[in-house]
Structure 1
Amino acid sequence: MTTKMRSEIAEQPAALRATLDSLLPRIGEVRAVGERTRQLLFIARGTSDNAAVYGRYLVESHAGRLSALAAPSIATTYRRKLDLDGVLAVAISQSGRTEEIVETLAWAKDCGAAAVAVTNGGPDSPLAQAADVALCTEAGEEKAVPATKTYTTQLAALAVLALGLGADVDQDDLRRVPDAVEKLLGEPGDLDAVVEGLLDKPGVVVSGRGLAFSTALETALKLKEACYLHAMGLSYADLLHGPIAVVDADTPALLVAAENSPTLPGTVALAERVVAAGAAAYTIGGGEGLARAGTAALNGPDLPEWVAPMGLIVPGQLLTEALARRLGVDPDAPRGLNKVTQTD
């Protein structure tokens, strides 16, 4: 039986095309609100927070805007007012109904920020209503609890945001993403080998750097949510500062990189180090160089680094769904989770 999660993974090319068709004509609106600001503050939790990490790296590396990830507790628990004059607050929520995120965006506006919402909840959602500009994604209803198509369409919306902020990139690259994702769905790489390699393992370290860091975090989250693995998502720079000690025969590494990325040589070197230490290094993306350095490889997209995370996550989603089924876990409804999470 095909799971809802697997069906929704397959819907991503269409969801991405619909989202880009809807949002690319609105670059001018983003430009207008962005002209009043100097830096960005991303507001999110969970999977949306991993999308925010992509947004932060993208905006800083290609639009030259200082960016930060918000601590919503400053607004909702400590209730501390900050000077956010000149800040563009970007709140990200799949449902647009997570009260903490809506409240934090309202707080940011009260502190002087301009406000953008990224949500699949539609223009009538509380988050969209609270924003100056709402970038509503077109993923359609997502029934499986683990986010897949809502996550990749969030990345697409953040890429449109970056274009509106003057990113030095080619807009045509973004139009190529749905086809690249479609290709990955048919050619994910050695999925069975990676599933077999993780079947009897209690945990895995998932690592990437730069724009691929968001993919490492999101892949680790999916493996925790749906497979109950102790999956640790880390930048490889942080991994080398000490946590690499946990990588051994019982704790393999899953390493992520885009082709032609400045972080690729370091990722290849890390894979070689892991294998030399007697542990498995499974890889996602990075071309032939990274594949040769690892134990088994999942394919990456044929895309420039700035849009590659929209494709790099797809093999991780497929891995999560397949591994969950092999472990006897229903990936559509992992224990203890709901589609919309409310925090105090």
Structure 2
Amino acid sequence: MTSRMRAEIGEQPDALRRTVDALLPRTADIAALARETRQVLFIARGSSDNAAVYGRYLVESHAGRLATLAAPSIATAYRRKLDLDGVLAVAISQSGKTEEIVETLDWAAGCGARTVAVTNGAGSPLAEAAEVALITRAGDELAVPATKTYTTQLAALSVLGLGLGADVEAGDLRAVPDEVARLIDLTESSDALPEIVEELAAVPGAVVSGRGIAFGTALELALKIKEACYLHAMGLSYADLLHGPIAVVDDRTPALLVAAESGPTLPGTIALARRVQGAGARAYGVGGGAGLAGACSAALPGPGLPEWVAPLALIVPGQILVENLARRLGVDPDVPRGLNKVTQTD
């Protein structure tokens, strides 16, 4: 029987198409806020925080603005006022109902920031709290692990980047839905998929690594492995991995390496795959084109998209891998233990 998670993975092309069509006209609203701000502060938790990592790299590398990730406890626990004049605060929440995120956005506004919300919850408290609300069109998501709400958040953040003046082409974003549909078919017909599933089912965990614009994808894939498969998974930039934690990669701890098919971090990802293999461990690629596939033990296909939008599709083979791995391990991927769709934190 098809899991809800798998069904929602398959709904992503349409969800992305609806979201892009709805949000691209909002770039003017974002540009108006951009004229009054200098830097960006992202407010998020969980999968939304991994989306924020993508947003940070996009804004800094292509829009030329400093971007940082907020520590919500400064607002909610320490209740410390900061000078946020000139800051654009962007809060991300799939439901728009996480009280900590809403409270932190209100705090940011009270500290002088201009505010944007990215949420799938039209009419939610978060959408109501923001000056500009970018409402994604993912539709209802019933499986607890975020799939289509995550990729549509990335689409909204791509639109944010365009509104902030990123030096990219909006047409690249319109190519994403068809590429995601193609990638779903390619991944599910890949001989590498069952091979990687069987090998991961036999180990206690893995390291998941990427860098730059693909780093958020590595973090999200690691999170999905942990929450849906109950395996240990460490998400790291490959730069941080090389500073010491690479010692954990061995014949019982393989590396999953994610990369776009082009961009400045691809050569380093390929070099890392060769180092892992040379140390006697297994390296599995996700994306990265023929170069990464050739350096890995096995590899899943990646999107043929420019690096700046590649993460919108790059996570999709990882989602399919996780759904297959969960079922192989006898875990229901739709309702991981201990998790709810909306998480509230103190």
Whole-angstrom distance in 2 between the partners of 1:36 and 1:241? 39
Given the alignment of the two structures, is residue 275 of structure 1 paired with residue 277 of structure 2, yes or no? yes
Whole-angstrom distance in 1 between the partners of 2:262 and 2:102? 38
Q: Report the equivalent of 2:184.
A: 185
Superposed CA offset, 1:59-116 (max 9, x none): 0000000000000000000000000000000000000000000000000000000000
Aligned partner of residue 166 in structure 1, secondary structure: coil
Q: Report the equivalent of 2:239.
A: 237
Superposed CA offset, 1:283-319 (max 9, x none): 0001001000000000000000000001110011000
Given the alignment of the two structures, is residue 107 of structure 1 paired with residue 110 of structure 2, yes or no? no
Whole-angstrom distance in 2 between the partners of 1:164 and 1:37? 12
Aligned partner of residue 145 in structure 1, secondary structure: coil
Given the alignment of the two structures, is residue 211 of structure 1 paired with residue 213 of structure 2, yes or no? yes
Q: Displacement, 1:217?
A: 0.1
Aligned partner of residue 224 in structure 1, secondary structure: helix
Q: Report the equivalent of 1:263.
A: 265
Whole-angstrom distance in 2 between the partners of 1:286 and 1:320? 19
How do 1:92-103 and structure 2 match up within 5 A? 92-103=92-103
| Unpaired stretches in structure 1, ≥5 consecutive residues | none
The answer to which of 330-339 and 183-192 deviates more is 183-192
Amino acid at match of 2:102: V
Amino acid at match of 1:261: G
Shift >4 Å, 4+ stretches: none
Q: Report the equivalent of 1:43.
A: 43
Whole-angstrom distance in 2 between the partners of 1:336 and 1:212? 28
Q: Displacement, 1:335?
A: 0.3
Q: Report the equivalent of 2:124.
A: 125
Q: Report the equivalent of 1:314.
A: 316
Aligned partner of residue 233 in structure 2, secondary structure: strand
Q: Displacement, 1:127?
A: 0.2
Whole-angstrom distance in 2 between the partners of 1:341 and 1:17? 27
Whole-angstrom distance in 2 between the partners of 1:193 and 1:254? 13
Amino acid at match of 1:149: K
Given the alignment of the two structures, is residue 62 of structure 1 paired with residue 62 of structure 2, yes or no? yes
| Unpaired stretches in structure 2, ≥5 consecutive residues | none
Amino acid at match of 1:86: G
Aligned partner of residue 187 in structure 1, secondary structure: helix
How do 1:107-186 and structure 2 match up within 5 A? 107-122=107-122, 124-186=123-185
Q: Report the equivalent of 2:345.
A: 343
Q: Displacement, 1:212?
A: 0.4
Q: Report the equivalent of 1:32.
A: 32
Aligned partner of residue 37 in structure 2, secondary structure: coil
State the TM-score, normalizing by the size of structure 1.
0.99
Superposed CA offset, 1:1-23 (max 9, x none): 00000000000000000001100
Superposed CA offset, 1:29-85 (max 9, x none): 010111110000000000000000000000000000000000000000000000000
Aligned residues: 343
Amino acid at match of 2:307: E
Q: Displacement, 1:337?
A: 0.2
Percent identity between the two aligned chains = 75
Q: Displacement, 1:199?
A: 0.7
Superposed CA offset, 1:109-157 (max 9, x none): 00000000000011x1000100000000000000000000000000000
Amino acid at match of 1:97: K
How do 1:276-315 and structure 2 match up within 5 A? 276-315=278-317
Whole-angstrom distance in 2 between the partners of 1:170 and 1:23? 15
Q: Displacement, 1:196?
A: 1.1
Amino acid at match of 2:213: L
Whole-angstrom distance in 2 between the partners of 1:265 and 1:22? 36
Amino acid at match of 2:176: V
Q: Displacement, 1:219?
A: 0.1
Q: Displacement, 1:200?
A: 1.0
Aligned partner of residue 162 in structure 2, secondary structure: helix
Amino acid at match of 1:2: T
Q: Displacement, 1:261?
A: 1.2
Q: Report the equivalent of 1:225.
A: 227
Whole-angstrom distance in 2 between the partners of 1:192 and 1:176? 28
Q: Report the equivalent of 2:254.
A: 252
Amino acid at match of 1:25: P
Q: Displacement, 1:260?
A: 1.3
Whole-angstrom distance in 2 between the partners of 1:311 and 1:120? 19
